[in-house]
Amino acid sequence: MTDVLIVGAGPAGLSAGIACAQHGLQVNILDEFTLPGGRLLGQLHEEPDGSWWNGMAEAKRLVEQAKNLGVHIDCGVSVYDVAKTETGWRVSTTRGIIEVPKLLLATGAAETTIPLPDWTLPGVMSIGAAQVMTNVQRVKVGNRGIVIGVNVLSLAIARELQLAGIHVDRIVLPARNLLTKDSGNPEKVMQSMLRLAHLAPSTFIRLGSKLIKSEAMLKLALSFLPSSGIRMWGIPIQVKVAALEIFGDKQVEGVKIVKVNTKGEPVLGTEKVIPADFVCIAGGLSPLVELAAVAGCPFAYLPELGGHIPLHNERMQTPVAGLYVAGNITGIESAKVAAAQGTVAGLSIADEFGKLPEKKLLQTAMKKVEVVREHAVIQFDPYIEKGRRTISSMYAQQNTGA
């Protein structure tokens, strides 16, 4: 008899399964993908100390540990409904209905795309699709590509494409409009780029970013920045160039770009056509929360965490009895943070079953989430900690009725 059902076999779900099983609980993890590991499977990046983060190896390690502890991992199974019962949860899956006392949702994140003329042409894909095709399916996405959208994910994945021998011609902004908002605004993008400078292999970029300490300095630096941009790993990152449209007949043939000023306004007469046989659109990530909504969990809208977030506390409990959340469903952060949150959720569930020998284990795991967050190489939002504090206090208010 299963004590805990976990939806999602990413770092959060696997780590939670391990923590539960280590305390004697019967765990079943379901994932709709054909392999366990979630988004870990596509990740490959260099840490500032020169070591490599190999997500595929990390996934293998977690899966082996979970299986050795007796965790059942079923792949190729989608969960499409969850309903509260008197004793727990009735979970509807593509392989039938499962009844369980405790349910943990670790469904991760979804990509946001940016609509652009002719974005439906073959050869146009989201940046995450390019990552999966390259690192998981081992399919070459093309020979010469352009990435639209400058953010932590697009930089990390452009580097992964380059490591796979694919030429990334440049990374540009989307044209500034109502939909693209800050991602089409060079000043905002430059601000976020400075937080990513530690990823850059060039000492020049790292030192330069440390010297820019105020908004005025940032504006000045941006005004002097040539439209050819700065290079990371030899890839031009052009924050003063925007993509106007993608074009092609039966397949992508290129992108029409234009120079923009520091506010993202096009400089007339500077339009240019750049040839490409693939285009990646990088519009950011948002938590995949539908099942939490169906479960009746209350939500809060917190842009710093990536959007609509199911209310939860530091123990990863939601206000709905027997329902837990962990990983990117609670806010967009790196894989290491997701894994640390998964451990907390697992220990929290074990505690509720009365199987945790010492409360200290849970306290230590909660502290570890903060430490991992503080040292995370990949940070998706500068105000993540503020978002975390807000959601915790909203949970506390809801539970005390304040």
Ligand X SMILES: Cc1cc2nc3c(=O)[nH]c(=O)nc-3n(C[C@H](O)[C@H](O)[C@H](O)COP(=O)(O)OP(=O)(O)OC[C@H]3O[C@@H](n4cnc5c(N)ncnc54)[C@H](O)[C@@H]3O)c2cc1C
Please give the residue ranges that form the binding site for ligand X (CB under 6 A): 7-13, 30-33, 38-40, 42-43, 78-79, 106-109, 111, 128, 131, 153, 156, 285, 288, 291, 327-328, 334-335, 338, 378
Q: Least CB distance from residue 240 to ligand X, whole Å? A: 26
75 or 194: whose CB is closer to ligand X? 75
Whole-angstrom CA distances from 309 to 31, 81, 273, 322 are 21, 18, 40, 18
37 or 186: whose CB is closer to ligand X? 37
Q: Least CB distance from residue 74 to ligand X, whole Å? A: 9
262 or 341: whose CB is closer to ligand X? 341
Q: Least CB distance from residue 218 to ligand X, whole Å? A: 26
Half-sphere exposure of 359 (CA within 13 A, CB side): 1
33 or 395: whose CB is closer to ligand X? 33
30 or 175: whose CB is closer to ligand X? 30
Q: Least CB distance from residue 234 to ligand X, whole Å? A: 19
303-309 contacts at long range (C-beta below 8 A, 24 or more positions apart): 303/381, 304/331, 304/381, 304/382, 304/383, 304/384, 304/386, 304/387, 305/330, 305/331, 305/332, 305/381, 305/384, 305/387, 305/388, 305/391, 306/109, 306/331, 306/332, 306/380, 306/381, 309/387, 309/391
15 or 262: whose CB is closer to ligand X? 15
CA-to-CA distance for 212 and 205, rounded, in angstroms? 11
Which stretches of 51-132 are DSSP H helices?
A: 55-68, 127-131
Q: Least CB distance from residue 6 to ligand X, whole Å? A: 9
Q: Least CB distance from residue 260 to ligand X, whole Å? A: 27
